Amino acid sequence: MRPDLFEAPDYYNLDELLTEEHKLVRDAAREWVKREVSPIIEDYAQKAEFPKQIIGGLAEIGAFGPYIPMEYGGAGLDQISYGLVMQEIERGDSGVRSTASVQSSLVMYPIWKYGNEAQRQKYLPKLASGEWMGCFGLTEPDHGSNPGGMVTNFEDKGDHFLLNGAKLWISNAPFAQVAVVWAKDENGRIHGLIVERGMEGFSTPETHNKWSLRASATGELIFDNVKVPKENLLPNKSGLGAPLGCLDSARYGIAWGAIGAAMDCYDTALRYSKERIQFDKPIGQFQLQQKKLAEMITEITKAQLLAWRLGVMRDNGTATSAQISMAKRNNVDMALKIAREARQMLGGMGITGEFSIMRHMMNLESVITYEGTHDIHLLITGLDITGLNAFK
């Protein structure tokens, strides 16, 4: 892969909306990605392996629990800083951002919000430092878009719970020490359980043959009569709203992350358009190529404003789940379209690993599918504005 020459576009001077702390956090993440991720990520994606050596660095830039209070090892940052860190990581690779999102919003967040003090003390500092990695088991083989139909269940056996079932498409599963697993009790109510690697009957086979998020490890979680200690139940929230609360936090991060992937594709295509000569001119001089670039920067600017405003509302505590859905859906779709256009602008070179665009494009096919598909987020907006439920 070529040297990382990335220059972030800021067409509307949005830096003026950021505090000094926001910019410091973002710039530290940006430099780290340039130094530690860009030089290696193409190789790891090609060999379909997560680069575990970057875990310590991810922890250092605050990517594990950016908004978790410092007393639990988190970075204690606000939501805009969290978003900016996700943007910078996904500028490098959506798979690496996925690892950070899962750790922060799908593992640390439920332990922080729904766990008791002993669980917070036991797990959060180790997850914040990257000493332990976590995964989040919601999706099942027969229940993806409708997780409420899940069949994974646990029975109360007096001194422990007995967990049975299976989860599919679980990011970080193959190497995670800790899994936050959603399962139904005898009354059909959904609860979160913390399952640890090494518990008898718990296995995590890896999912192979992915053409997307190749630098992120994905696997199954299989529970065959797993005895889970009773103190591993998250006591402070149950029902489908509990996992959906985690998804709100992760989807918000994705709305920012997708901007990072889009910025990288745009920046690469812009630079290439000035260097690549055809018909004795740089291709950037042709109107067709300018149209592509002009539309890209317009869409990126709109997405940046959407994410920033959502961040302000998250910090005020006023952002709704439906507003988060809109931003996740819009920004990922925007990034995927830009990746496809940018890839064409590079001609044949666009399909190679010399440039990051094709990797971003393939990664974004997962990002537009997980954490609620493109269709599901549209239906969430539809429900919100009409009051009529298309899911029933």
Ligand X SMILES: Cc1cc2nc3c(=O)[nH]c(=O)nc-3n(C[C@H](O)[C@H](O)[C@H](O)COP(=O)(O)OP(=O)(O)OC[C@H]3O[C@@H](n4cnc5c(N)ncnc54)[C@H](O)[C@@H]3O)c2cc1C
Q: Which residues contact ligand X by CB under 6 A?
A: 102, 135-139, 144-145, 169-171, 213, 218, 366, 369-371, 373, 375-376, 379, 391
Q: Give CA–CA dist 186/59, Å, rounded.
A: 38
Q: How far is the CB of 40 from ligand X (least distance, A)?
A: 20
What token pair was written down for 68?
């978790």
Q: How far is the CB of 143 from ligand X (least distance, A)?
A: 7
Q: Max alpha carbon distance in the chain (Å)?
A: 79
Cβ atoms of residues 253 and 101 within 8 Å: yes
C-alpha neighbours within 13 Å on the C-beta side of residue 39? 7
Residue closest to 194 by CA, chosen among 206, 207, 203, 183: 183
**Pure H helices in the chain:** 20-32, 38-46, 55-60, 79-92, 94-101, 109-114, 117-129, 241-275, 287-316, 321-345, 357-367, 374-386
Between 164 and 207, CB nearer to ligand X: 207
Q: Give CA–CA dist 79/39, Å, rounded.
A: 29
Q: How far is the CB of 11 from ligand X (least distance, A)?
A: 31
Residue nearest to ligand X (CB): 144
Between 79 and 172, CB nearer to ligand X: 172
Q: How far is the CB of 335 from ligand X (least distance, A)?
A: 16
Between 341 and 371, CB nearer to ligand X: 371
Is 16 known to be catalytic? no
Between 11 and 211, CB nearer to ligand X: 211
Between 18 and 193, CB nearer to ligand X: 193
Cα torsion angle, 378, 380, 385, 389, sign: positive
Of 42, 220, 341, 371, which residue is the catalytic one? 371
- Could you list the active site residues? 371
